[in-house]
């Protein structure tokens, strides 16, 4: 099956990034969200991202104009019926994702592949919400999507080889490097990354070091491009908490218990860069 029209559910930091790389690869893109203002903000983010590429002379003005021209927005999820392949990029909430997939299953023709950008929720559970589990797959992009090369491709227990192969090839068409992961909580990326971030938060919580020193140790001692607390702020502390809860619920192992400080920050609305305050102040 050839994918000509690509659907993205969600216009936030992940959704608009996915829409950008799909449109840059020459596809027509439908980007949806629940409010028009969210769609407009997503388009503005894409334009700003492309302006930075333009300034670095990685693209031309014609490239930017053509990419933006391929993206349409909607607040009606039923418009995804026009897409050949749809990626859900909503917030990391199981109940929300389940409902989106039930709605997409009803709206989209039966041959359409439905992918999730989930970073931890089992694909099998998502697929079970649909009448097409063989056409449901995980397509986990990294943040920021236009810059990061990796896409984790996750097969559910019912995912067909045809669905997997098409998603794998599509990742390459987007200029990404796909990696296959089996369907366990957190997959590969977040099963390794999130416990490390959670442990860094425990170090702060237990006064093992300051936030600056914790980040410095990991940057200069382990050659990480940014420290774990800075990275947590970039990802979003609510997303970090949701992933840790998925790991904890999935494995029933205390080593995956979310740090109380992480929960406290999320309850206070300190979610990182997107709210202006997390472990660091961005205001």
Nearby residues of 247 by Cβ (< 8 Å), 6 or more positions away: 120, 185, 186, 190, 191, 194, 195, 256
The rounded distance, in Å, linking the Cα atoms of 72 and 234 is 27
Dihedral, CA of residue 120, residue 238, residue 9 and residue 172, to nearest 10: -50
Does 140 qualify as catalytic in the annotation?
yes
Nearby residues of 44 by Cβ (< 8 Å), 6 or more positions away: none
The rounded distance, in Å, linking the Cα atoms of 50 and 39 is 17
Does 190 qualify as catalytic in the annotation?
yes
Q: Which of 11, 49, 119, 171 is catalytic?
A: 119
Q: Which of 88, 190, 198, 245 is catalytic?
A: 190
The rounded distance, in Å, linking the Cα atoms of 216 and 224 is 9
Rounded to 5 degrees, what angle do the CA atoms 252, 254, 259 make? 120
Residue carrying structure tokens 């914790």: 214
Does 224 qualify as catalytic in the annotation?
no
Q: Which of 88, 92, 152, 245 is catalytic?
A: 152
Q: Which of 140, 171, 198, 245 is catalytic?
A: 140
* Residues tagged active-site: 119, 140, 152, 190
């Amino acid at each position: 099956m050839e994918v000509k029209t690509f659907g993205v559910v969600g216009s936030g930091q992940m959704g608009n990034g996915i829409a950008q790389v799909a449109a840059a690869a020459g596809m027509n893109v439908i980007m949806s969200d629940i409010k028009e203002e969210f769609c407009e903000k997503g388009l503005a983010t894409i334009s700003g991202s492309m302006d930075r590429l333009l300034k670095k002379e990685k693209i031309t003005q014609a490239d930017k104009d053509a990419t933006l021209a391929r993206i349409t927005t909607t607040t009606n999820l039923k418009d995804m019926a026009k897409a050949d392949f749809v990626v859900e990029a909503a917030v990391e909430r199981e109940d929300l994702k389940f409902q989106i997939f039930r709605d997409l299953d009803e709206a989209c023709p039966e041959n359409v592949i439905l992918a999730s950008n989930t970073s931890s929720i089992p694909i099998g559970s998502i697929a079970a919400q649909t009448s097409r589990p063989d056409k449901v797959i995980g397509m986990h992009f990294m943040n920021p999507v236009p810059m990061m090369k990796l896409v984790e491709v996750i097969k559910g227990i019912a995912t067909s080889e045809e669905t997997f192969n098409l998603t794998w090839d599509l990742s390459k068409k987007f200029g990404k490097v796909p990696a296959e992961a089996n369907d366990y909580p957190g997959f590969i990326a977040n099963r390794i990354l999130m416990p490390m971030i959670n442990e860094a938060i425990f170090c702060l919580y237990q006064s093992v070091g300051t936030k600056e020193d914790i980040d410095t140790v990991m940057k200069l001692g382990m050659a990480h491009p940014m420290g774990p607390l800075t990275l947590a702020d970039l990802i979003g502390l609510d997303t970090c908490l949701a992933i840790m809860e998925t790991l904890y619920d999935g494995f029933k192992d205390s080593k995956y218990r979310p740090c109380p400080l992480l929960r406290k920050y999320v309850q206070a609305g300190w979610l990182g860069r997107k709210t202006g305050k997390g472990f660091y102040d961005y205001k």
